Amino acid sequence: MAPIAVGATLPDGTLSYFDAEDNLQQATVHSLAAGKKVILFGVPGAFTPTCSLKHAPGFIDHAEELKSKGIDEILLLSVNDPFVMKAWAQTYPHNKHVKFLADGSAAYTHALGLELDLSEKGLGVRSRRFALLVDNLQVKLANIEEGGAFTVSSAEDILKVL
């Protein structure tokens, strides 16, 4: 399947996360994004070097600026289970705005056409690194990385177009 592109409607799918009261929740992507301007960004894996040291922290650190430019939600997607995503989120105690979403079976990642097979590295099927700017479910910007690169999907890259 071809990767999601500008002009496409964001597919729906169910993702898991822990809420502020530490309850495991499931939500559809459409319930999180319909009628809103959102950034959906994906990473290959929780606790991996680039994801943990650059990609996620960039969106956390720039969240207030992104929100001041009209972003309603900042959603982080990874092919990990919700317990791993919860533990990873807890490593950023200053995070107030980035929601860590689990796509444990990679079903939503496949729906986006953004899977990355890292089986040779012992990681299985993961998500490509990407950042989507979505307005009321319509993709306005699709910055999708090749392989494990980190050149077009940072918070700074999104801020340049807002």
What per-residue string of b and e applies to 29-40 under the rule 16 or more CB within 10 Å gives b? beebbeeebbbb
3-state helix vs strand vs coil in the chain, percent to 5: 30, 30, 40
Other CB atoms within 10 A of residue 53 CB: 10
**Has this prediction a pTM greater than 0.85?**
yes
Other CB atoms within 10 A of residue 12 CB: 14
Q: Where are the domains of the chain?
A: 14-159
**Structure confidence at residue 122 as a pLDDT band (50, 70, 90):** low
Active site residue 51: yes
**Structure confidence at residue 121 as a pLDDT band (50, 70, 90):** confident
Q: Where are the beta strands (DSSP E) in the chain?
A: 14-18, 24-28, 37-43, 73-78, 98-102, 115-117, 125-127, 130-135, 138-144
Contact by Cβ (8 Å): 16, 104: yes
What are the tens digits of pLDDT across the range 31-48? 999 999 999 999 998 998
| CA–CA distances in Å: residue 41 to residues 53, 134, 157 | 15, 11, 12
Q: Which of 51, 89, 131, 134 is catalytic?
A: 51
What confidence score (pLDDT) does residue 108 get? 97
What percentage of the chain carries pLDDT values higher than 90? Answer: 86
What are the tens digits of pLDDT across the range 52-62? 999 999 999 99
pLDDT over 90 at 11, yes or no? yes
Which residues are CB-contacts of 134 (< 8 A; sequence separation ≥ 6)?
10, 33, 37, 38, 39, 40, 140
pLDDT over 70 at 104, yes or no? yes
Residues 155 and 131: their CA atoms lie apart, in Å, by 8
CATH number of this structure's domain 14-159: 3.40.30.10
pLDDT over 90 at 119, yes or no? no
What confidence score (pLDDT) does residue 124 get? 65
Which residue, 135, 128, 130, is CA-closest to 154? 130
Q: Is 101 helix (H, G, I), strand (E, B) or coil?
A: strand
